[in-house]
Structure 1
Amino acid sequence: MAQTERDARAAAAATLLGPLSERGIVAVAATFVDNSGVARVKAVPLDRLPHLAAWGVGSSVSFDRFRFDDWIAGAGEGREVVGDLRVMPDVRRVVPLSAQPGWAWTPADRYRQDGVPHDQCNRLLLSSMVGSLAAHGISMKASVELEWVVGDDDGTDDFTPAVRGPAYGLARLVDGSDYSRDVLTALAGSGVVVEQFHPEYAPGQMELSVAPEDPVSAADTSVLVRTVIAGVGARHGFRTSFSPKVAVPGVGNGGHVHCSLWRGDQNLMAGGPSEHFGLSAEGESFAAGVLAHLPALMAVGAPGATSYLRHLPSHWAGTYACWGLENREAAVRMVTGSPGATAMAANIEVKCFDLHANPYLAFAGVIAAGVAGLASNARLPDPVDVDPAVLPDAELAARGIKRLPTSLREAVVAFAGDAVIREAFGGPLSASIVAVRESEIELFDGVSDQEIAARTRWQR
């Protein structure tokens, strides 16, 4: 990184000091997300922000091998403790945290000490994947749906819903009205545009949707929203869980990815042939690429043992590798929006991902798969207009509809065997992802579903 760039970064950060100080900010937290989906942080006092922007702050290379419980999945050579990186904030987005007075947040990239981008920085990877789309003259709008449950903080790790009432019920919203108001107020104060908020299916569960953005910003927003929601919950005496399976049995939390492709002002998910619900040829190729590589993408989009406790047929988890119009049991759901709004609203939703995923890796993987589909002019199979779980095995086989991986082990095997995704991620990052997943598989070998859910319940 050249000195001129460092000077420009410091100068940009310096312009923020006055406005942030006026809002009572005393410290800035810079986050990156590890391969287990955990947001890690380095923080500095506010007056150190320009120095942080120019030079970053040190961070061990070992974070690439951190498991969700902070165990380091080493390769047995002891090299994980050697070396240092620089956590460099993106000062274009420094956000005061309304639920945590005195604190601001910023997403960060990771660089080597010599200023060269770290080859395992997932945020920089996503930026490069966005560039690969741009090479086709295409941009993307994306967002992550967030589902979570709020539990009473009773001093144990057990779960008791903190808000009560039926699924999608007004009674639950009334019971949690003060909490819900504070969530929406804090998100608005942090610059997040919430498009929808409602009680969800499981006990104590809520969901919100945010406005689409470019993929890097959308991944940043996913991290920010979770931080704000957890902060509001803590102020109410609640614990917040984004786990794919909070309790067994029960419906889990998803982290559905929405995306649409654009060439200028034209939505490539609309305006095409009616037999594909308006998908253009390029939109179809992209969606076909995503569908073809979904088994491997499960290793990043559904990255933990708990993810596969959620992946049950007929639970709206998208457990079959198929697609369909507004089919909530298909792994890829085509969303057209209401007539008259299709040109703006049409998108595809990847339903099989959850919020233990690193959002930067999830988006990077989706783009890599989609770009491969564009390169090969891939075509979609026939859409599925029923819950695939009700189809006889013979019909599933005849239509080429397969179950997605049913365990973390199957997902890792699919990832290791997918040259497109591994090449896009690069050798070092792919190796770290496999090592962390293998370590979790070993950790939970022979452990009951209930124990797995309990040990990952509060992971974030």
Structure 2
Amino acid sequence: MEPGTSAARERQRLLARQEAARLSAEGVRAVALTFVDNAGITRVKSVPTARLAHAAHRGVGMSPAFDVFTSDDSIAASPHLGGPDGDLRLFPDLNLLTILAAQPGWAWAPVDRYDQQGVPHPACQRQFARRMTALAAERGLEPLMGFETEWIVDPPGSGPAYGMARVVERSEYLLELHDALAAQRIEVLQIHPEYSPGQFEVSTAPADPVRAADQLILVRETVRAVTARHGLRASFAPAFTAGQVGNGCHLHVGLRRPGGGNPHRDPDRPYGLAADAEAFLAAVLRSLPALCAVGAPSPASYLRLVPSHWAGPYRCWGVENRETALRLVPGDPTDPDDGHAELKCFDAAANPYLVVGAVLAAGLAGVDAGLEAGYALPEPVRGDPAARGDQERLPASLTEAAAHFERDDVLREAFGEVLHGAVLAVRRAEAKRFADSTPEEIADATRWSY
């Protein structure tokens, strides 16, 4: 939501008054306004329902220092951000205003961030994602994205991986989660037990990139609320326990063309990928080491990115290969709208707005350059890349990933100096914090940060 002119802001205030009246009639007494910082933590300011119109018209204040907060609430510093000075305004997106089914009396909306003159904050991650989506549209592409959200319930209970026994044991819990997500108009594709003890996953339907990131935040906080209502705790941390399969947050990416047309369904091209779709995915594959600093942003992320655990730790792609970082999903051959790709090396420590924006920025660089500039996919990998011995590992540490991120000119330009500098400062601070820590110490320290 952009503040715009005085007339536009007045229209927002009038709309917010109408929405506040609707919320009050539904028993909603407070609205949580959230954004996600560069450490992947969802931060919040809440307002009484009666103050929603004021928030929509004037915004809610919050310090720009949150752009350099780390996951333990320490404050780093970048060349442009850090310290006690300054103020921003949070403007709620009223189109996303949602009554929270698992938190009676509450509603939620994501925010965009501006300075006090109404100028977009250069480090606003949600607006970054929106800009990259607009660049895709300028190139005749409509990206669709969706996330898989994994979490571990504590105490974990019993039952084998993917087993019905876990569903029986947590039957009421899972039913309440289904009901809460449906009440919030989130289309769930599936919820199922995962590999690790107490681990579950929910997959939601694809949407435009900004909406997909918004939905991920709403899904995650709904899971957290439903879990708490059952006297349990939910952890989305990349590594709940050192040496155990961790929580991923895989990103699914599909490209479409306005008015119809699916670049993943070209019968005359290898693997059904039109030239622009292949160039997009090849460019993402090329930038994956730098993208790890965005999508695997915690030292704990690198406890998860280990071979032969379906985490995607190798810089390669494959057709329906769950061990490669980039998995091509051809989909139903009878459905002209099916087909997409999955990035498996990301986790829930990531800011989803940065993830969708960065993947778009990397992929669009390939679309702009084209196959003739070298943005073509290599041969796909079959089987476990670890067993082949000829595949490049992705970064093995956050320090290594941050170095790739710093050198990636495509991402630097797309992020802009202020946002790029803030992300880099947070990554370096997180890496420094855990430089001398054991895997067990890293897992213990981050288990409840996410």
Scaled by the length of structure 1, what TM-score is found?
A: 0.94
Mapped partners of 1:76, 1:433: distance in 2: 11
Residue 359 of structure 1: aligned partner: 352
Q: Read off the aligned partner of 2:16 and give its amino acid letter.
A: A
Q: How does 1:364-379 map to 2 (within 5 A)?
A: 364-377=357-370, 378-379=375-376
State whether structure 2 residue 261 is matched by structure 1 residue 266.
yes
What is the Cα-based RMSD across aligned positions, in Å? 1.3
Q: Of 171, 174, 180, which residue of structure 2 is paired with 1:180?
A: 174
Please tell me whether the aligned partners of residues 68 and 81 of structure 2 are also in contact (alpha carbons under 8 angstroms).
no
Q: Of 266, 271, 274, which residue of structure 2 is paired with 1:280?
A: 274
The offset of 1:442, in angstroms, is: 1.1
Mapped partners of 2:267, 2:279: distance in 1: 12
Please tell me whether the aligned partners of residues 319 and 331 of structure 1 are also in contact (alpha carbons under 8 angstroms).
yes
Residue 423 of structure 1: aligned partner: 413
The structure 1 segments of at least 4 consecutive aligned residues displaced by more than 4 Å after TM superposition are 75-79
State whether structure 2 residue 137 is matched by structure 1 residue 128.
no
Mapped partners of 2:266, 2:53: distance in 1: 47
Q: Of 372, 378, 383, which residue of structure 2 is paired with 1:381?
A: 378
Gaps of 5+ in 2: none
The offset of 1:10, in angstroms, is: 1.1
The offset of 1:242, in angstroms, is: 0.5
Offset from partner CA, 1:397-432 (integer Å, 9 cap, x none): xxxx31110100110000001000011001111111
Give SS of 1:320's match. coil
Mapped partners of 1:334, 1:46: distance in 2: 45
Residue 103 of structure 1: aligned partner: 106
State whether structure 2 residue 31 is matched by structure 1 residue 34.
no
Mapped partners of 2:113, 2:300: distance in 1: 28
Give SS of 2:16's match. helix
Please tell me whether the aligned partners of residues 67 and 81 of structure 2 are also in contact (alpha carbons under 8 angstroms).
no
Mapped partners of 1:332, 1:267: distance in 2: 19
The offset of 1:76, in angstroms, is: 9.2
Q: Read off the aligned partner of 1:385 and give its amino acid letter.
A: R
State whether structure 2 residue 49 is matched by structure 1 residue 49.
no
Gaps of 5+ in 1: 153-160
The offset of 1:336, in angstroms, is: 1.3
Offset from partner CA, 1:122-150 (integer Å, 9 cap, x none): 00001000011011011111111101010
Q: Of 234, 254, 257, which residue of structure 2 is paired with 1:240?
A: 234
Mapped partners of 2:22, 2:128: distance in 1: 31
Residue 396 of structure 2: aligned partner: 406
Give SS of 2:442's match. helix
Offset from partner CA, 1:145-174 (integer Å, 9 cap, x none): 10101003xxxxxxxx1x321001000110
Q: Aligned pair in 2 of structure 1 residues 79, 261: CA closer, same or farther (>3 Å)? A: closer
Q: Of 434, 437, 440, which residue of structure 2 is paired with 1:447?
A: 437
Mapped partners of 1:91, 1:14: distance in 2: 11
Please tell me whether the aligned partners of residues 147 and 204 of structure 2 are also in contact (alpha carbons under 8 angstroms).
yes
Mapped partners of 1:344, 1:197: distance in 2: 23
State whether structure 2 residue 68 is matched by structure 1 residue 61.
no
The offset of 1:274, in angstroms, is: 5.3
Residue 249 of structure 2: aligned partner: 255
The offset of 1:80, in angstroms, is: 2.0
State whether structure 2 residue 447 is matched by structure 1 residue 457.
yes
Q: Read off the aligned partner of 2:208 and give its amino acid letter.
A: D
Give SS of 1:69's match. coil
Mapped partners of 1:237, 1:128: distance in 2: 41
Residue 338 of structure 2: aligned partner: 345
Mapped partners of 1:349, 1:272: distance in 2: 21
Q: Read off the aligned partner of 1:107 and give its amino acid letter.
A: P
Scaled by the length of structure 2, what TM-score is found?
A: 0.96
Q: Aligned pair in 2 of structure 1 residues 117, 75: CA closer, same or farther (>3 Å)? A: closer
Q: Read off the aligned partner of 1:335 and give its amino acid letter.
A: V
Mapped partners of 1:420, 1:63: distance in 2: 25
Q: Read off the aligned partner of 1:86 and give its amino acid letter.
A: R
Q: Read off the aligned partner of 1:255 and give its amino acid letter.
A: C
Q: How does 1:184-199 map to 2 (within 5 A)?
A: 184-199=178-193
Offset from partner CA, 1:91-112 (integer Å, 9 cap, x none): 0110011100000000101000
Please tell me whether the aligned partners of residues 243 and 356 of structure 1 are also in contact (alpha carbons under 8 angstroms).
yes
Mapped partners of 2:302, 2:103: distance in 1: 33
Q: Of 414, 420, 426, which residue of structure 2 is paired with 1:436?
A: 426
The offset of 1:266, in angstroms, is: 1.4
Identity %: 48
Q: Pick which of 6-15 and 130-139 moved more.
A: 6-15
Residue 157 of structure 1: aligned partner: none
Q: Read off the aligned partner of 1:419 and give its amino acid letter.
A: D
Q: How does 1:110-189 map to 2 (within 5 A)?
A: 110-152=113-155, 161=156, 163-189=157-183
Mapped partners of 2:377, 2:404: distance in 1: 20
Q: How does 1:313-352 map to 2 (within 5 A)?
A: 313-341=307-335, 343-352=336-345
Residue 194 of structure 2: aligned partner: 200
Q: Aligned pair in 2 of structure 1 residues 200, 111: CA closer, same or farther (>3 Å)? A: same
Q: Read off the aligned partner of 2:107 and give its amino acid letter.
A: A
Mapped partners of 1:79, 1:352: distance in 2: 30
Residue 71 of structure 1: aligned partner: 74
Offset from partner CA, 1:193-242 (integer Å, 9 cap, x none): 10111100010000111011100000000000000000000000111000
Q: Matched residue pairs, number?
A: 442
Residue 6 of structure 2: aligned partner: 3
